[in-house]
């Protein structure tokens, strides 16, 4: 059932440039499995968050000044003198955190239900690229207010590249645009921070093209077999996604209006001072697990490589996982290892927030090793040893059987 | 059931972040802060105008001798309950350097509402030179720039003690258990009856510390009241919206069999 209309003008237009039918296909008739649960809400929430970040960011850029001697003042000017400037800035800063909450939940959903497996490897891999670009964008955005954490975070992170042999120091000088983090660095970070969200936007487009090519996975992990298994995007998922936006909006609003600085660091309200190093340099919360991996390796170069490998390993995950069953619901052992892995990531995040010394260093080393063992060893090996539970024959059968049993329970 | 699960997921996420940042901030070896039940804390808390005005008096008569407050203009004083006439009068008490005039000379005039509060020193080095090499930080954002916020400011200001518990502070530094490292370059800035409050409140160290901490909280976050009241409306809207959308979702999905 493709797009039909009696309107001659729209027909003429759509025949030459099929925007209307593409939109209709994407947002109205595209078939989705009927059994998607709440874990599948975060993709559309991420789309909204990206849009919100771009809109608030464009307005903030109208009032912000990317210069080392003016940046901090211009942010305070936004907070105090620009109409609703405080709202824009708090939405943008907390929006970044909400963006990462949603993206991590979206990724754990993918890990739990095996969304990365054939034939959906491209969707997953584009997603990992989006994550990398998001991280670069978030990092550079945190530098822009030019507070103490901005400056020292930028110094620590850019210095990581100096660990590379031979090319390390020239690369760092090139990144800085000079011999220290200074005005050229701030200028280029601002330029790139403005550019990269549009790159993400393009990548999201590819992510969706790949998604529509193979269709969404679902909690059962079996493919759509017939018309009884799927429902159209509209009205079923439009209404469900809008509910998701409103519910997620409540969480977002609690942070923006009551805890706007909770996820930030007090030191970033001190103007950058290259002569005073903060006692404890910590990145934003969403980098803490990776920061813990970086610091748990005694060698600087190997630490940097481990940190990048922690994301790089996600690229090859579709080939590391040897199990033919997608959903963890039918993988009795993987289900346990999934939750242990999730816990491991939280432990890494906590370790990243603490000084790297004593017991905490030992814990972060164990957690780092487990992170890689999960992907490199457990994922391939589980596929061989695990006895998956029998899969249902179709989505509709499983859904209707579940409905029958719950309604029977309600009647009893 | 779906709502229950989504709440659990979100609560887990919030808890996770809370654990990480909460502990990320808990560095340092200073004494546990005194906790004050501020008029402005809580989801509906507003600034106590009388307290913030007293705090402004403490700032003007004590802190301003060394510390700047460069993001606050005299017009902002109307936000804490001063009338326009009062704010104008306060501004006019200060001499502000302006210029250059048509002849190219700098000149001094009385302060106006649009002027920012002038800094006590012409530049950072002058500030350091007058304070034994230690730079007295600008106070506009101090309540947001210190772990513990206004509780920290209050604890620090009221927490100087003669008994240093065996801590050896070097020359030019003073013992204060609430300061990370316990020795800071600022001597106890206030004493009982150091100033005379306009509203007749007894000027104890405790009272002045509280008042000026409340004032500095306002200075760091002047839009807090507007923020909380807008947030209340936004949350009500979103909750009603969520309820309606959830009902709509149930009704539309009921068509499926």
Q: What is the ipTM of this complex?
A: 0.91
**Residue B164: its pLDDT value, please?**
77
In DSSP notation, A160-195 reads GGGGSTTTHHHHHHHHHTSSSS-HHHHHHHHHHHHH
Q: What pLDDT, in 10s, does the model give residues B41-73?
A: 999 999 999 999 999 999 999 999 999 999 999
Q: Which residues of B touch A277 (CB under 8 A)?
A: none
- Minimal C-alpha gap between A304 and chain B (Å): 22
Is pLDDT above 70 for B15? no
**Residue B166: its pLDDT value, please?**
80
**Residue B28: its pLDDT value, please?**
47
**Residue A272: its pLDDT value, please?**
97
For A359, phi and psi rounded to 5 degrees? -60, -35
Q: Label residue B163 by pLDDT band (50, 70, 90).
A: confident
pLDDT (average), residues B70-99: 96
Residue with tokens 């979103």: B238
- Minimal C-alpha gap between A11 and chain B (Å): 30
**Residue B169: its pLDDT value, please?**
87
Rounded distance, CA B112 to CA B98, Å?
11
**pLDDT less than 70: residues of chain A:** 1, 404-412
Query: Which residues of A are identified as catalytic?
Result: 212, 216, 240-241, 284
Tell me whether residues B20 and A288 touch, CB distance under 8 A: yes
> Looking at residue A17, what DSSP letter applies?
S
**Residue B22: its pLDDT value, please?**
44
From the list B9, B21, B226, the residue facing A105 with the nearest CB is B9
For chain B, what percent of residues have pLDDT higher than 70?
88
Q: Which residues of A touch B23 (CB under 8 A)?
A: 350, 353-354
Tell me whether residues A270 and B23 touch, CB distance under 8 A: no
pLDDT (average), residues B214-240: 98
Rounded distance, CA A221 to CA A212, Å?
17
**Residue A399: its pLDDT value, please?**
86
Q: Which residues of B touch A261 (CB under 8 A)?
A: 144
**Residue B240: its pLDDT value, please?**
98
Torsion-angle region of B241 (φ positive above 0: left; ψ -120 to 50: alpha; else: beta):
alpha
For B90, phi and psi rounded to 5 degrees? -60, -45
**Smallest Cα–Cα separation from A368: which of A312, A299, A269, A292?**
A292
**Residue B31: its pLDDT value, please?**
86
* Residue A294 half-sphere exposure toward CB, CA atoms < 13 A: 21
From the list A250, A263, A400, the residue facing B238 with the nearest CB is A250
Taking the CB of residue B25, how many other CB atoms lie within 10 A of it?
17
**Residue A404: its pLDDT value, please?**
65
Whether chain B has a CB inside 8 Å of the CB on A110: the answer is no
Whether chain B has a CB inside 8 Å of the CB on A276: the answer is no
Mutate to test the interface with B, among A232, A237, A246 (most CBs of B within 10 A): A246
CB A107 within 8 A of CB A127: yes
**Smallest Cα–Cα separation from A87: which of A252, A203, A238, A210?**
A252
Touching A: B residues 172-191, CB under 8 Å = 180
Is pLDDT above 60 for B193? yes
**Residue A406: its pLDDT value, please?**
55
Angle at A129 between CA A161 and CA A200, to 5 degrees: 105
Residue with tokens 């690369």: A171
In total, the C-beta contacts within 8 angstroms joining chain A to chain B are: 130
Is pLDDT above 80 for B4? no
pLDDT (average), residues B212-239: 98
Residue with tokens 């808890």: B15
Supply A297's token pair.
């390796």
Whether chain A has a CB inside 8 Å of the CB on B21: the answer is yes
Whether chain B has a CB inside 8 Å of the CB on A319: the answer is no
Tell me whether residues A257 and B235 touch, CB distance under 8 A: yes
**Residue A147: its pLDDT value, please?**
97
**Smallest Cα–Cα separation from A345: which of A303, A297, A393, A291?**
A291
CB A376 within 8 A of CB A388: no
**Smallest Cα–Cα separation from A315: which of A132, A130, A113, A124?**
A124
Q: Which residue of A has its CA nearest to B230?
A: A257
């Amino acid at each position: 059932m493709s797009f039909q209309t009696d309107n001659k003008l729209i027909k003429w237009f759509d025949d030459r440039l099929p925007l209307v039918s593409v939109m209709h296909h994407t947002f109205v008739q595209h078939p989705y499995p009927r059994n998607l649960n709440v874990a599948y809400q975060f993709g559309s929430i991420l789309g909204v968050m990206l849009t919100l970040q771009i809109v608030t960011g464009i307005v903030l850029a109208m009032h912000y000044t990317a210069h080392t001697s003016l940046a901090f003042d211009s942010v305070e000017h936004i907070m105090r003198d620009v109409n609703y400037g405080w709202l824009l800035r708090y939405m943008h800063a907390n929006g970044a955190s909400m963006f990462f909450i949603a993206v991590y939940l979206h990724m754990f959903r993918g890990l739990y239900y095996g969304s990365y497996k054939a034939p959906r490897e491209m969707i997953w891999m584009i997603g990992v690229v989006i994550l990398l670009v998001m991280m670069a964008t978030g990092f550079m955005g945190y530098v822009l207010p030019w507070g103490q954490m901005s400056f020292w975070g930028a110094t620590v992170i850019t210095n990581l590249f100096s660990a590379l042999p031979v090319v390390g120091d020239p690369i760092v000088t090139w990144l800085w645009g000079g011999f220290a983090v200074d005005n050229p660095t701030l200028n280029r970070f601002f330029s790139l921070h403005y550019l990269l969200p549009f790159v993400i936007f393009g990548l999201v487009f590819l992510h969706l093209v790949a998604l529509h090519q193979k269709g969404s996975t679902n909690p059962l992990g079996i493919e759509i077999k017939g018309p009884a298994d799927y429902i159209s995007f509209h009205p079923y998922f439009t209404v469900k996604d809008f509910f998701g936006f409103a519910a997620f909006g409540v969480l977002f609003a609690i942070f923006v209006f009551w805890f706007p600085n909770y996820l930030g660091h007090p030191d970033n309200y001190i103007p950058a001072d290259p002569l005073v190093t903060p006692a404890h340099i910590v990145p934003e919360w969403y980098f803490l697990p990776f920061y813990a991996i970086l610091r748990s390796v005694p060698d600087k170069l190997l630490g940097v490589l481990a940190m990048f490998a922690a994301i790089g390993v996600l690229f090859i995950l579709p080939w590391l996982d040897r199990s033919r069953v997608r959903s963890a619901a039918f993988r009795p052992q993987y289900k346990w290892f999934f939750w242990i892995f999730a816990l491991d990531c939280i432990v890494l995040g906590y370790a990243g927030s603490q000084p790297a010394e004593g017991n905490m260093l030992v814990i972060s080393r164990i957690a780092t090793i487990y992170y890689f063992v999960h992907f490199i060893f457990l994922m391939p090996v589980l596929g061989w040893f695990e006895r998956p539970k029998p899969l249902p024959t179709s989505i509709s059968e499983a859904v209707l059987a579940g409905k029958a049993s719950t309604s029977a329970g309600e009647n009893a | 059931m779906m709502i229950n699960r989504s709440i659990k997921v979100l609560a887990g996420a919030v808890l996770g972040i809370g654990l990480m940042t909460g502990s990320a901030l808990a560095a340092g070896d200073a004494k546990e802060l005194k906790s004050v039940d501020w008029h402005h804390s809580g989801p509906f808390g507003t600034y106590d105008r009388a307290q913030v005005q007293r705090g402004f008096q403490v700032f003007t008569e004590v802190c301003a001798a060394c510390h700047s407050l460069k993001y606050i203009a005299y017009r902002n004083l109307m936000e804490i309950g001063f009338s326009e006439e009062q704010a104008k009068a306060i501004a006019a008490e200060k001499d502000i350097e302006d210029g250059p005039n048509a002849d190219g000379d700098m000149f001094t005039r009385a302060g106006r509402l649009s002027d920012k509060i002038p800094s006590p020193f012409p530049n950072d080095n002058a500030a350091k030179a007058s304070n034994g090499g230690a730079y007295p930080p600008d106070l506009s954002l101090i309540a947001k720039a210190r772990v513990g916020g206004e509780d920290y400011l209050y604890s620090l200001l009221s927490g100087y003690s003669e008994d240093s518990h065996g801590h050896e502070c070097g020359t030019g530094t003073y013992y204060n258990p609430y300061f990370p490292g316990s020795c800071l370059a600022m001597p106890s800035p206030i004493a009982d009856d150091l100033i005379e409050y306009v509203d007749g409140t007894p000027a104890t160290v405790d009272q002045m510390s509280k008042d000026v901490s409340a004032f500095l909280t306002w200075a760091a976050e002047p839009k807090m009241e507007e923020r909380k009241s807008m947030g209340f409306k936004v949350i009500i809207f979103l909750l009603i919206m969520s309820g309606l959308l959830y009902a709509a979702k149930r009704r539309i999905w009921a068509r499926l069999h």
